[in-house]
């Protein structure tokens, strides 16, 4: 049975302008230029406000001045005199001397520099070159090429020998066995850089140690090979006493062996792939300067050009809006109007974005004024998104978008904006402090500890309590992991 009824609902709907603003707020300064270029390409009514482009480009006067050069039929009247010449005659080599084909507008004092062209060999190309220098049959050479293709940029083989046998059979129609693949892999593991072609870290270190031993043998190298081959698990966990007991060596000999191991490269391929790495540069969105005790904030707008609505499209909209229109003209008017309005919305959204960013960052700067004046992390106040949202009268989600992926340049370095937000914690005397302050103190304690006997989490908790920070052991472990600091056992070093 069908029936009709009225129902009231409270819904929140965002306008296209609000959605556009939220998307622009999330974009950092480094990505804003690309977003503006994309909008200009998609919307012909939007263009960069270049004063030179606003000059009149009318050519009516030039066209009128050239009317005398054209005949009644609109074509240019060309008269040829005896002094005119043909171009073929001009370039005839027999008509002029060799000196006319040369030019020398450089004095003897000028410094001439050739532009260098840099070329290099990639990591995999180097391996392929070394493979070509070996006396191998056609099948072994193809097997070697496939193995090299499965070595990653760090120098490790990412496929098992069984999988390589199957791959060669199905993909390249090459029928081989595990022994032949192992033989070719052994040849590749003898290539430079040392350690390439290993299937795990243990094998990589052993390859390097054994090659080093071929150059000069020593007791430290023998012990290092013994440690990596027999006690690798204890080595990774820094169980020094277990290694000394099982290998029957003292601490001095163990230290010498460890020094040999620490000189090895755990990622041999990286030594040749430096040139192919992509450098990542941070472009700060804000800049804070200290002018004799007064903090000054500036917004980085180097890649945000001034935008304007195209005069051509504005004129077209006005022209079509004043007269009666056919169906095609109405469609044209609708298209032009939509593009002009979209351009206006985008320009307004860019302005709102810049204003929102500046107001929010200015509030954060004033909130953390002591830190931006001194650079002392212990002066950071507890700050959450709501603290800033209440001060600037904006939604918490808006503040979150502003803080996301934005960087601020300060006299003490460039930092991610959201790193200044932290929870609060109450000290024993009732004072509220930032968790970032506690992390800083924890980091300082660990850096100053004796590396032969590093502090456990339980002892770190007691030290913080002595300083007035009642932190549980679990919390200490959480903060330590957030700082990227390993447990006490892995921080232990030989004296």
Residue 20 lies in a domain: no
**% the chain with pLDDT above 70:** 80
Among the candidates 248, 271, 294, a domain finishes at 271
Please determine, for residue 82, whether its predicted confidence score (pLDDT) is greater than 50.
no
Question: Exposure of 306 by Cβ count < 10 A (0-12 exposed, 13-18 middle, 19+ buried)?
Answer: exposed
Which H/E stretch holds residue 463?
helix 457-466
Confidence bin at 205 (pLDDT 50/70/90): very high
Q: Is residue 381 domain-shared with residue 403, that is, in the same domain?
A: yes
- Nearest-10 Cα torsion for 82, 83, 87, 93: 110
pTM exceeds 0.85: no
Same domain, 412 and 371: yes
- 409 & 439 share domain: no
Maximum mean pLDDT: which of 19-23, 62-66, 242-246, 332-336: 242-246
Residue that finishes a domain, picked among 419, 454, 481: 419
In a domain, 10, yes or no: no
What average pLDDT does the segment 313-321 reach? 78
Is residue 84 in a domain? no
Element (H, E) at 390: helix 385-392
Task: For residue 78, tell me if it sits in a domain.
Answer: no
Q: What is the pLDDT of residues 425-460, one digit of tens each?
A: 777 766 777 787 888 888 888 988 888 888 888 889
Question: Based on the domain organization, do 408 and 314 belong to the same domain?
Answer: yes
Maximal C-alpha separation, the chain: 111
Give the model confidence (pLDDT) of 359-368 as tens digits. Answer: 999 999 999 9
CATH number at residue 181: 1.10.10.1330
Q: Are residues 148 and 138 in the same domain?
A: yes
**What is the spatial distance between Cα 189 and Cα 197, in angstroms, rounded to a whole number?**
5
* Domain identity same for 386 and 444: no
- Residues 399, 337, single domain; the answer is yes
Range of the domain at 469: 424-491
Element (H, E) at 162: helix 161-171
**Residue at 97 is within a domain:** no
Instruction: Please report which confidence band the pLDDT of residue 216 belongs to, taking 50, 70 and 90 as the band edges.
Output: confident
402 and 294, same structural domain?
yes
Tell me the Ramachandran region of residue 282: left when phi exceeds 0, alpha when psi lies from -120 to 50, beta otherwise. beta
Residue 264 lies in a domain: yes
- Could you tell me if 162 and 224 lie in one domain? no
Q: How many CB atoms lie within 10 A of CB 269?
A: 21
Q: Is the pLDDT of residue 274 over 60?
A: no
CATH number at residue 468: 1.10.10.60
Chain centroid to CA 415? 15
pLDDT digits 0-9 by tens, 285-311: 899 999 988 999 998 876 677 888 888
Confirm whether 109 is domain-assigned.
Answer: no
Are 415 and 291 in the same domain?
yes
pLDDT value at position 50?
67
290 and 371 together in one domain: yes
pLDDT number for residue 85: 43
Say how many domains are in the chain: 4
Residue ending a domain, choose from 377, 397, 419? 419
Instruction: Please give the residue that has the higher pLDDT: either 411 or 436.
Output: 411
Q: Is residue 39 part of a domain?
A: no
Same domain, 140 and 223: no
């Amino acid at each position: 049975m069908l029936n009709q009824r009225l129902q009231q609902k409270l819904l929140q709907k965002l306008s296209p302008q609000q959605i556009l603003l939220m998307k622009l707020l999330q974009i950092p300064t480094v990505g804003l230029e690309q977003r503006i270029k994309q909008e200009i390409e998609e919307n012909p009514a939007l263009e960069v406000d270049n004063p030179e482009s606003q000059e009149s480009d009318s050519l009516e006067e030039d066209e009128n001045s050239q009317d005398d050069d054209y005949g009644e039929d609109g074509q240019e009247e060309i008269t040829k005199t005896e002094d005119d010449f043909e171009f073929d005659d001009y370039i005839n080599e027999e008509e002029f001397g060799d000196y006319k084909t040369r030019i020398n507008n450089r004095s003897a004092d000028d410094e001439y520099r050739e532009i260098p062209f840099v070329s290099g060999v990639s990591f995999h190309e180097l391996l392929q070159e070394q493979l070509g220098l070996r006396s191998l049959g056609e099948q072994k050479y193809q097997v070697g090429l496939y193995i090299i293709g499965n070595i990653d940029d760090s120098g490790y083989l990412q496929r098992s020998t069984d999988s390589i046998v199957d791959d060669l059979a199905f993909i390249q129609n090459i029928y081989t066995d595990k022994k032949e693949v192992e033989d070719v892999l052994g040849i590749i593991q003898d290539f430079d850089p040392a350690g390439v072609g290993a299937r795990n870290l243990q094998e990589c270190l052993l390859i390097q140690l054994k090659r080093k031993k071929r150059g000069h043998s020593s007791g430290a190298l023998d012990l290092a090979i013994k440690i990596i081959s027999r006690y690798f698990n204890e080595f990774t966990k820094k169980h020094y006493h277990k290694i000394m007991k099982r290998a029957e060596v003292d601490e001095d000999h163990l230290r010498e062996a460890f020094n040999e191991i620490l000189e090895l490269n755990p990622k041999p391929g990286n030594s040749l792939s430096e040139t192919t790495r992509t450098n990542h540069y941070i472009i700060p969105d804000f800049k804070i300067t200290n002018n004799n005790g007064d903090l000054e904030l500036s917004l980085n707008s180097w890649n945000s050009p001034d935008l304007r609505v195209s005069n051509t499209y504005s004129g077209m909209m006005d022209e079509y809006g004043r007269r009666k229109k056919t169906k095609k003209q109405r469609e044209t008017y609708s298209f032009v109007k939509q593009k002009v309005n979209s351009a206006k919305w985008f320009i307004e959204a860019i302005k709102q974005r810049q204003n929102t960013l500046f107001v929010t960052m200015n509030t954060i700067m004033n909130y953390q004024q002591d830190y931006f004046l001194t650079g002392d992390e212990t002066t950071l106040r507890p700050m959450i998104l709501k603290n800033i949202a209440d001060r600037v009268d904006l939604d918490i989600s808006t503040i979150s978008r502003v803080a996301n992926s934005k960087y601020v340049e300060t006299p003490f370095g460039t930092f991610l904006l959201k790193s200044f937000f932290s929870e609060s914690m109450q000290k024993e005397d009732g004072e509220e402090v930032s968790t970032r302050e506690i992390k800083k103190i924890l980091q300082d304690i660990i850096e100053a500890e004796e590396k032969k006997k590093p502090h456990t989490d339980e002892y770190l908790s007691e030290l913080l309590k002595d300083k007035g920070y009642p932190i549980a052991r679990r919390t200490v472990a959480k903060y330590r992991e957030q700082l990227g600091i390993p447990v006490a056992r892995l921080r232990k070093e030989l004296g």
